[in-house]
Structure 1
Amino acid sequence: MSTTSFLVRKDALSTTRLDTAADEPLADGQVRVRIESFALTSNNITYAAFGDAMSYWQFFPTGEEGWGSIPVWGFASVVQSLHPGVAVGERLYGYWPMASSAVLSPDRLSPARFTDAAAHRAALPAVYNQYVRCSADPLYTPDTEDLQALLRPLFITSWLIDDFMADNDFFGAGTLLLSSASSKTAYGTAFQLHRRQGIQVIGLTSPGNVAFCESLGCYDRVLTYDALDALAADTSCVYVDFAGNGELRHAIHARFPNLKYSCSIGGTHVEQLASKGAGKALPGPRPTLFFAPAQIKKRTAEWGGEEFGRRMVAAWHDFLAAVTGPKDAWLRAEHHHGAEAVQAAYAQVLAGKGDPRSGHVLSLYKHPGAL
């Protein structure tokens, strides 16, 4: 058997290649999984953009200098097992390389999940090392796998951003400005914020995505990026940046002297990460990177793991009901199978192109009967 992997140049994310290598035998205690589907969103581009700074490249090392494997979220099935607690055929949700298969070293097993105890992952954030056993997952249903792959990790981040803002009393502001308002993490955050009293949620987006953002019903106002002057300059606000657009960040910091907090979530505008809007020269508060695992750790300590899970599951079901509601669906999955299709989808997501209602679900696994 062999594994096909999709690799990118760490210093030139548009440069990619496919690599096929023979599988090595498993060691005792390891399992091999077939990665059957994974989502590719702007969130994964953020993983690549911050791959060195936040250690995302370390999860699935390629062994080749300068080349990385972008982590993705999706579903896999166990096809080989030398671990007595994990059966062949078991279905898992978790964090994978962009590849057709992967090897895990399960540890700390429970009926609901286990941790990959591979030595190179020991010092990395624990939330990314956990694999959920679908048979005992309260969020799992077979018919919503695509939406789970596309939205679940993003929505958890959205839910945590909302919780972080509320935990800090919105830094004394009554208005939140969300960039990249058509992105899944942004509208997941807006969905949560919109339910809070006294908070105005304003989405910032490109002209072509205004109608989509307005149709969601979770933004109080939607403005194009060049329409910041539609808001009073003395607005007391928080900026939540989902794209890392340095020019926009600078414009917001310069426009609003009552900017209370500047929160950086993502970095899909890779070419602008080092621009004038990224650093120390900005007026107002220094942009602060939001790190979801830190808020998870805080709330788990305060609420306990069971209560944290209960709240998150309830919020997820509410969000899924809105996304799949009787009106226009917020999101529909587009499937891409095989190496060429994966390369094409990656190029589209990297370029920030496409319909915001479309989500890319990919697979490098060669299905039986495929030519």
Structure 2
Amino acid sequence: MTALTADQMARVKATAPVFAELGPTITKHFYQRMFDAHPELKNVFNQTHQQSGSQPETLARAVYAYAANIDNLGALGGAVTHIAHKHASLNIRPEHYPIVGRHLLGAVVDVLGEAVDQPTLDAWKVAYEQLAQILIGAEAKLYEQASWSGFRPFRVIRKQVESDEITSFYLAPADGAPAGGFEPGQYVSVKRFIDRLGVDQPRQYSLSDAPHGRWLRISVKREAGRGETQPGHVSNLMHDGVDEGAVVHVSAPMGEFTLDRSKATPVVLISGGVGITPMASMLSTLIAEHSARKVAFVHACRNGRVHAFRDWLRGAAATYPDLKRVVFYEQVEADDRAGGDHDFEGRLDLARIADDIVLPDADYYLCGPVAFMREQSAALAARGVDPARVHTEIFGSGMID
């Protein structure tokens, strides 16, 4: 790998603002250009995110962050690890990187034209190759540690409705072998062929049960679509077209948002909506291990109709001696029972429960919509919680997924 010279590093950093202004235009053109040359890659990339424009915007932000910190990659924090896990879950391989690099740089030339000179393009080429090697190395380690390679056939042995929006699928290896292990909080990619698109589409779903080797459980929210938001191709197919006995193809578990099981300190699990799925895995694991750790399980959703795992959580609170359950319903309905189904009406407000859930030396795990996690992270910081103890999971796109 060719090292960046000081001049090249300066060129990349100086042109980073271009991606702040024109990045989405460049990345949207990049995807179209790449798919025209390699239509088979539509089977890897989320086409819903392509249509909505969210994937080009995500890539543009990632490229800008990389370029702006090209002289201090440590400032990117865990972004590289996050992207590597995403890529490994989608089975991104080293041979994909030259294709992406060629068309990304080609898109820069197509959009900017003579505004970018050859030395600057050469600098960006070296910078991209540097990033590619970093990611390839990180992904190679994940593949070495994975329970299996690529997408493995699993049979749906049970399908269970959890709420009006969420249904669980119990998946056992089609060959009868053990399901393999994972860390609570991780996710898998599930790949299905979408007739209306004419391509396979992978989607990532958190595992929602404790690891035990007999099966894997995912709990899928039906994405109905609202306004300009399109319905979820895969989630609707899973709900309506995948029944018990069906075979789906699943990647090995990945993800860095995991419960630290080596600790004995308290755990606070805070979720919104379908963000409850990895929290269910974490709590199930603590129960299965007969852990003595104090646990606070805080969940927010609209009402009882969309409250997944409601009965399970109520039972866990009754049997796990050190578990405190707190549930907020934003729009309480007539059948919702205060003190049984939920504890508070309205949006989740940590100020109302801080005395119970802000615990000394606790680790906090947050999962839900981005705005929800920002709000809860800010509320914890205002209560003096060390940000290093706050762990978040974002459902969304990586750099090239």
TM-score by length of 1: 0.32
Larger of the two Rg values belongs to structure: 2
Task: Report which of the two has the higher share of strand.
Answer: 1
TM-score by length of 2: 0.30
